[in-house]
Structure 1
Amino acid sequence: METGGGVHYLDAAAPAGMRLYAIGDVHGRFDCLSRMHGMIADEIARDRPADWRIIHLGDYVDRGPQSREVLDVLMEATARDPRIIALLGNHDEGFLDFLADPHDKGDLFINYGGADTAASYDVTLNAHNRRAITDSHAALVAAVPDSHVAFLRDLPRSASFGDFFFCHAGVRPGTALAAQNPHDLIWIRREFHIHPGLFDKIVVHGHTPHHEPEVMANRVNVDTMAFETGRLTALVVDGDQKRFIEAAA
């Protein structure tokens, strides 16, 4: 359960000496992600914070044109520096589900942007009938590197620093942050969005697209529909100071 009072956005702070960057849904926009990484690297080189974390909030694949390239750069970055973190999104899980069982678990991938992901691996996703899905699945399984599958399978669903809790979709009110259902962390919407009370920490999430960052007393949404708008957004927290940066294609 949330403890009495909770944390308000205006009061929330990062750990002392640590700057936080939380990046919204990428959805195959390698161009925006590369620009965002460059902007953050420039800020860190300029300001030299004592410590920092870069947290990607999930949904790296589908809808945009370069899912494969996004996964390549995230694999390299997270392996190179443990301060760079990637969390799982529902579309990332949907990609894994399709690769595992395209007929019983492939609906999200087939119906919501998976054709763009497949194309980034030079595979045409044909969902006209069961045989076409089977053939497309076989081609994609052959094209997707094992390293991409392993990377996605190992992604955590949440992270927490200071007064902030990071996940893809949100949390279920009334359940302790440490005890959240894994499904809720990448799928929940309504119950989380309409909850008026404060949580033990500010929940920073994506999953639900908005044209601008959404700031509430108890949560921050940084999904600005990069796949459509060409604008990838990140929340930056330094002490109790918060701001947003945008990487535009």
Structure 2
Amino acid sequence: MFNFSPRRGKGPAGARGYRAYVVGDIHGRVDLLEHLLAKIHADLQHRPARKALLVFVGDLIDRGPSSAQVLERLRTYRRERVRPVFLLGNHEEVLLRILGGDVSVVDSWLRFGGLQCLQSYGVPFARLRDRPAEEVVEIVRSAVPQHHVEFLETFVDSCRFGDYLFVHAGIRPGIEVDRQSQSDLRWIREPFLFDESDHGFVVVHGHTIRDEVEERPNRIGIDTGAYRSGVLTALAIENADRWLIDTRTAPEGTASAGD
């Protein structure tokens, strides 16, 4: 867990001296990732920050067509005064389990985006047809390069940022942060989504798709279903201010179609 100066005041505020950009579930859409990064970089030029975090809430992979390209882009991401932080989503968890030899999740992974993930690594569908799970595991191991595996193994489960907590899915209400299970942080929906209690911080999460950012007093959901909607969203937080950036408009300074 990354921890950036918890603080409490009248309203939620970020960690002192930092700005955070928290990016929702990308799910293999490298085109949207590039678009959103351009907009975040433009925002940093328009209103510079001394230090910034660029936090990805997980589910970088699966469903969309470019999982391998997303991982490579972010594995090699470098920008002055911007520190990237990567949270492990349930889709990354499943891929790591398969790479570790877990055959029990192979069929469900292929149905819920793993097929597209393997295709991004150059594995044709025909190679997977009617293969037993044990053979699929070996195909995955041969397709995913070791530097991507090592990158995924660096991901963390949470990041505390002042009066905010960034996680992939949510938290189990009533349980201290340091006692939360990895399963809940990566997979939970109910009862977290319907809980209205004050957690002592605002949870910023992905995992559950909504047409628009879902903002409630105790949580903010930023998964806008990029792989199917074409809308990838980031929440920016600095001190007591927060604002949204998404891919529905061209990056600042870029001519739109028809201009």
Which residue in the other structure is 2:213 paired with? 213
Partner SS state of residue 76, structure 2? helix
Q: Tell me by how many angstroms 1:17 deviates.
A: 3.1
Q: Using a 3 Å threshold, how does the CA distance of structure 1 residues 81 and 186 change in structure 2: closer, same or farther? A: farther
Partner SS state of residue 136, structure 2? helix
CA distance in 2, matches of 1:210, 1:248: 15
Pair 1:70 & 2:63 matched: no
Q: Tell me by how many angstroms 1:102 deviates.
A: 5.2
**8 A Cα contact 2:106 2:136, kept in partner:** no
Which residue in the other structure is 1:164 paired with? 164
Which residue in the other structure is 1:123 paired with? 123
Partner SS state of residue 139, structure 1? helix
Q: Tell me by how many angstroms 1:192 deviates.
A: 0.7
| Partner AA of 2:216 in structure 1 | M
CA distance in 1, matches of 2:106, 2:132: 13
Partner SS state of residue 165, structure 1? strand
Which residue in the other structure is 1:111 paired with? 111
**8 A Cα contact 1:102 1:133, kept in partner:** no
Which residue in the other structure is 1:19 paired with? 19
CA distance in 1, matches of 2:79, 2:134: 33
| Partner AA of 1:138 in structure 2 | E
CA distance in 2, matches of 1:67, 1:224: 18
Unaligned runs of 5+ in 2: 1-6, 250-259
Q: Tell me by how many angstroms 1:45 deviates.
A: 2.2
Which residue in the other structure is 1:43 paired with? 43
Which residue in the other structure is 2:135 paired with? 135
Pair 1:31 & 2:36 matched: no
**8 A Cα contact 2:51 2:81, kept in partner:** no
TM-score of the two chains, using structure 2 as the length reference? 0.86
Which residue in the other structure is 1:88 paired with? 88
Q: Using a 3 Å threshold, how does the CA distance of structure 1 residues 161 and 44 change in structure 2: closer, same or farther? A: same
CA distance in 1, matches of 2:56, 2:18: 16
Unaligned runs of 5+ in 1: 1-5
TM-score of the two chains, using structure 1 as the length reference? 0.89
Q: Using a 3 Å threshold, how does the CA distance of structure 1 residues 44 and 156 change in structure 2: closer, same or farther? A: same
Task: Provide the identity percentage.
Answer: 34
> Which runs of structure 2 are paired with 1:184-223 in the superposition (5 Å)?
184-223=184-223
Q: Tell me by how many angstroms 1:49 deviates.
A: 1.4
CA distance in 1, matches of 2:97, 2:80: 28
| Partner AA of 1:135 in structure 2 | E
| Partner AA of 2:181 in structure 1 | N
Q: CA RMSD in A?
A: 2.3
CA distance in 1, matches of 2:178, 2:214: 24
Partner SS state of residue 77, structure 1? coil
Pair 1:182 & 2:182 matched: yes
Which residue in the other structure is 1:3 paired with? none
CA distance in 1, matches of 2:231, 2:79: 26
Q: Tell me by how many angstroms 1:154 deviates.
A: 2.0
**8 A Cα contact 1:17 1:51, kept in partner:** yes
| Partner AA of 1:39 in structure 2 | K
**8 A Cα contact 1:74 1:86, kept in partner:** no
CA distance in 2, matches of 1:199, 1:139: 43
